[in-house]
Amino acid sequence: MTFPPLREELRGVEPYGAPQLDVPVCLNVNENPYAPSAKVVADIATAVAEAAVTLNRYPDREFTELREGLAAYLNSSGGSGIVADQVWAANGSNEVMLQLLQAFGGPGRTAISFAPTYSMYPEYARDAMTGWVAGRRHEDFSFDLEHAAALIAEHTPSVILLPSPNNPTGTALPHDVIGTLCELAGDAIVVIDEAYAEFRREGTPSALELLPAYRNLVVSRTMSKAFSLAGARLGYLAAAPEICDALRVVRLPYHLSAVTQATASAALRHADELLGGVAALRSERDRTVAWLRAQGHQVADSDANFCLFGVFADRHAVWQGLLDRGVLIRETGPEGWLRVSIGTPEEMAAFQDALTDTLNHLL
Ligand code: PMP
């Protein structure tokens, strides 16, 4: 054994994460560009101050008030009749999904997704000692149900992980696909990762509507994106109570700090205001997609707060050109494609200028 005695499969592995660079325009990690208002900040600060008085004690392990607040929000955002027992939360939906893999994956079991997809999924599987299989999507990034059915039959996964809208493509899944997957999955769980659900276009449904029909369906959400609360680290899910109960077995005791619970509950009381930037971001997204297409680029249809565009012979040179001009985007997705998060109109104007200038120089 060599020192440190790292697990064999972790040797030489780089920690996950996009570069955190100090640049004027950051459009690389799908954050919300609109910071909470002074009023919301003041209310969060008061709630945190109240929680601080109790910090000598461990927090509510069941985070009951927060679960009730999240259930009420979900019922206003595509769900109906969801109660606190059907809600679970953790430090970011990253942690929620790791817990799902810890509870429902494990040695001898397999988790499956369909590429291109969120690049953290194989890491949850690895960290939960779960086998990992990645299928593919159609060329236009839509879901290939026939291929999925074959892969599920071949590998009998215990967890199927699918973002809708998908990251990095922005593609949402239709209800019939989700329903068919839940049926094909048998007793396996189907996790529809709705980190970007609030940004979906008019007419795109939420998987929350299907919860009453499928006991193996899990819908995860986050406060990091639409709620402008990435720094607070609060992700959550809705599912059958048995699924939430099982997660209580693998969570660390008191995993949600009193400060996190107070922050998230205060933010939920201001949901309308915090979500106020969503409409502007959706329009800005549609404008960005139209502009990129008008420049002759390919752009995947997007239901999220980002879009994937290409195809560039040397995408790294384009990414670097933008960075040299003060605009940080993400080099991710299939070869030749780049992903840009949607920012303020000023930030998107800076992105457009930087892209135009970069491509003129590269010609
Ligand atoms: N799911 C998807 C599809 C994501 O893109 C992200 C964040 N990039 C997450 C989950 C995790 O978000 P968080 O941990 O901040 O809730």
In the chain the domains, ranked by start, together with CATH numbers, are 19-36+276-362 (3.90.1150.10), 38-273 (3.40.640.10)
What's the half-sphere exposure (Cβ side, CA atoms, 13 Å) at 127? 16
CA–CA dist 101, 129 (Å, integer):
9
In angstroms, what is the span from residue 40 Cα to ligand 1's centroid?
23
- pLDDT at residue 20, as a whole number: 87
What's the pTM value of the predicted model, to 2 decimals?
Answer: 0.97
- pLDDT at residue 1, as a whole number: 81
Please give the ipTM for the structure prediction. 0.99
Q: Which atom of ligand 1 is nearest to the CA of 94?
A: 14
Helix ranges (DSSP H) in 195-277: 241-250, 258-269, 271-274
User: Does residue 118's CB lie within 6 angstroms of at least one atom of ligand 1?
Assistant: yes
User: Does residue 94's CB lie within 6 angstroms of at least one atom of ligand 1?
Assistant: yes
3-state helix, strand and coil shares in percent for the chain, rounded to the nearest 5: 45, 15, 40
Residue 304: C-alpha distances to residues 76, 169, 222, 285 (Å): 19, 9, 13, 8
- pLDDT at residue 50, as a whole number: 98
Q: In terms of C-beta density within 10 A (0-12 exposed, 13-18 middle, 19 or more buried), how is residue 133 classed? A: middle
Backbone angles phi, psi at 54, to 5 degrees: -100, 10
The pair of structure tokens assigned to 3 is 């020192």
In angstroms, what is the span from residue 239 Cα to ligand 1's centroid?
18
- pLDDT at residue 146, as a whole number: 97
Look-up: residue for tokens 């993400």? 330
In angstroms, what is the span from residue 56 Cα to ligand 1's centroid?
31
Backbone angles phi, psi at 330, to 5 degrees: -120, 130
Which of 94, 227, 233, 255 for a ligand 1 pocket mutation test, highest count of atoms within 8 Å of Cβ?
94
In angstroms, what is the span from residue 89 Cα to ligand 1's centroid?
13
In angstroms, what is the span from residue 194 Cα to ligand 1's centroid?
9
In angstroms, what is the span from residue 235 Cα to ligand 1's centroid?
8
CB 220 within 8 A of CB 204: no
User: Does residue 163's CB lie within 6 angstroms of at least one atom of ligand 1?
Assistant: yes
- pLDDT at residue 300, as a whole number: 97
Nearest CA to ligand 1 atom 5: 167
Query: pLDDT (tens digit, 0 to 9) for every residue of the chain, 363 residues total?
Result: 889 999 999 999 999 888 888 999 999 999 999 999 999 999 999 999 999 999 999 999 999 999 999 999 999 999 999 999 999 999 999 999 999 999 999 999 999 999 999 999 999 999 999 999 999 999 999 999 999 999 999 999 999 999 999 999 999 999 999 999 999 999 999 999 999 999 999 999 999 999 999 999 999 999 999 999 999 999 999 999 999 999 999 999 999 999 999 999 999 999 999 999 999 999 999 999 999 999 999 999 999 999 999 999 999 999 999 999 999 999 999 999 999 999 999 999 999 999 999 999 997
**β strands within the chain, DSSP E:** 25-26, 87-90, 110-115, 131-136, 159-163, 189-193, 217-222, 235-238, 298-299, 306-310, 327-328, 338-341
